[in-house]
Structure 1
C-alpha cells in the first residue's frame, strides 16, 4: 500500500490537535477510523511515528520529519486545487435581453481571478438551474423559489409599453399605467416581466394571451393580440417592425435576478462569482 493524501491529512490533524478525539472531530471521522488510518500510515513507513503514553503525546524523530513534509504536501495540494477551482468555468443561463453592462463588468472581474464564464440561452433558466445543467440563472419574472435556491437582485430596469404599430396606443400621449389595466395583455408565462398582477387591482376579467418565450411574445404583440410590458432596453435590443415601445412615466420598474444552488452548499466557483457579481 502507498501513502495516500487521506493518511497525511489525518496525520497532520492529529499532530496539530494532539488528541485523537479532537482530530477525529475536525476530520469528521470516528475515533476508531482515525486510529486505523494512523496505524496504516505507520505500517506503510515501517516505523513508529507517535510515542503513545497515557499522559503524553510525542512524536518520534521519524514522526517529526514526516510531519514537516506532510504539512508541505497537504498545503501544496490544497493550493493547486484552490488555483484550479479559481479558474473554473461557470455556465450562466438566460432567457432574453441580458443586462450587458453588468455582464461585461462582472465577466471582467471574474476572469481577472482566473475564472471563465459561458453563456447559454434557454427558455426557462430556473428549470435548467433546478436540473443542474446551469450554475447560475438570470431571470426577471418574480417568483417564489424553492428553499435550496437563493437569489439576488442585480439590476432594476425601467419598464415600457409594447404595442402593435397599428394600434391607436402607438400614437397616444399622456398615458398612465392605470390607463392600460383593461387592455388585452400578452404574457410570457415562463420568463416575462409583466402579467395581470402588475396592475393593482388586477382585473379578473381581463383577456390574457399567454406564450412561452420572448419570440412568441413579440409576434403576438406585433399581431395586435394584446399589449405587453418589457424592460426599456428592448427598444434598442429587440426592435421589431410591427412593434412600438411607448414610454409610460409611472410604469413600475422590473428587476433582474441571479439564482443559484445554496443548499446543501454553494460551489466554490459560484461563491467566487457571486463575490464579484
Structure 2
C-alpha cells in the first residue's frame, strides 16, 4: 500500500492537536478509524511516528521530521488546488469584536503565506452563514451548530463585567462573578457567550433581559437595564461612552473557536486553520 492523502491529513491532525480526540473531531471521523489510519501509515513506513499514552500523544524523532515534511507537502498541494479552482479570497465570519492585535496578525500571516486575500464578514448567526456558504470559516465565542461543522478552540480569554456608567458599580475596580449574578443580566441569545447556566444553580440570576445582537446588548447596558459580561479583548476594541468595563473574579473563561464545514473546505480553509492554530 502507498501513502495516501488521508494518511497524511490524519497524521498532521494528530501531530498538531496532540490528541486523537481533538484530531478525530477536527476530521469528523471516529477515533477507532483515526487510530487505524495512523497504524496503516506507520506500517507502510515501517517506523513509529507517535508515542501514545493514556494521557498524551508525542511525536517520535522520526515523527517530528515527517510532520514538517508532510506539512510542507499538504500546504503546497492545498494552494495548488485552490489556484486551480480560482480561489483567491477567504471569507471569514465573526459576530462582533475580534481579539486585537491577534486577529490582524493571523490574517496577515495567512495572506503572506498563501497570496490569497481575506474578507471579514460580520454575521450574527454564524451557523446560518456557514450553511448558506456566506462565509468559508468563522471565529465564534459561542456554540455554533452548523450542520456537519467542526471546530477547534484556539484559546480562552478572561471575562470582564460591563455596566452602565450611571450604575453604582461603575466606580468599582473589581466585582465577583457571583455578585454580578445578583443584578439583572443582559443576555445576547444569538451570538453572546454568557448564559445563566454558567452560574451555579443556587447563584443563577433571577432576572434575565434577552436581546439578539451585540449592538442591542451594549445599548441596553448603557441604558442601565442590566449588567453583562464579555471577553477582555472586547472591552478595548468595542468601547462605548456609556459603558464601563470592570475586572471579574471567579468568572469562567471565554473560548474563541474556529468553525468550518470540512466537506466544503478547500485548500484555503485548511491553510487558514493551520495558520490560526499556529498563532496561539
- Partner of 1:100: helix, strand, or coil? coil
* Preserved CA contact (<8 Å) 1:152 1:259: yes
Matching residue of 2:260 = 260
* Preserved CA contact (<8 Å) 1:181 1:203: yes
Superposition TM-score, scaled by structure 1 size: 0.65
- 1:171: Cα distance to partner? 2.0
Matching residue of 1:121 = 122
The 5-angstrom pairing of residues 125-164 of structure 1 reads: 125-141=126-142, 143=143, 145-146=145-146, 148-164=148-164
- 1:84: Cα distance to partner? 4.0
CA distance in 1, matches of 2:233, 2:82: 38
- 1:202: Cα distance to partner? 6.0
- 1:235: Cα distance to partner? 2.4
- Partner of 1:273: helix, strand, or coil? helix
* Preserved CA contact (<8 Å) 1:139 1:256: yes
Task: Report the RMSD for the aligned CA atoms in angstroms.
Answer: 2.4
From the superposition, tell whether residues 195 and 82 of structure 1 become closer, same or farther in structure 2 (CA, over 3 Å).
Answer: closer
CA distance in 1, matches of 2:274, 2:109: 10
* Preserved CA contact (<8 Å) 1:124 1:190: yes
- Partner of 2:103: helix, strand, or coil? helix
- Partner of 1:233: helix, strand, or coil? helix
- 1:230: Cα distance to partner? 0.5
Aligned residues: 198
Matching residue of 1:35 = none
| Cα deviations by residue, 1:145-164 (Å, 9 ceiling, x for unpaired) | 35610011123111100111
From the superposition, tell whether residues 82 and 270 of structure 1 become closer, same or farther in structure 2 (CA, over 3 Å).
Answer: closer
Q: Which runs of 5+ in 1 are unaligned?
A: 1-77
User: Does 209-218 or 242-251 show the bigger shift?
Assistant: 242-251
- 1:225: Cα distance to partner? 0.9
| Cα deviations by residue, 1:36-63 (Å, 9 ceiling, x for unpaired) | xxxxxxxxxxxxxxxxxxxxxxxxxxxx
| Cα deviations by residue, 1:46-92 (Å, 9 ceiling, x for unpaired) | xxxxxxxxxxxxxxxxxxxxxxxxxxxxxxxx996554459631100
**Structure 1 stretches (4+) deviating beyond 3 angstroms?**
78-87, 202-205
Superposition TM-score, scaled by structure 2 size: 0.64
**Larger radius of gyration, structure 1 or 2?**
1
From the superposition, tell whether residues 243 and 266 of structure 1 become closer, same or farther in structure 2 (CA, over 3 Å).
Answer: same
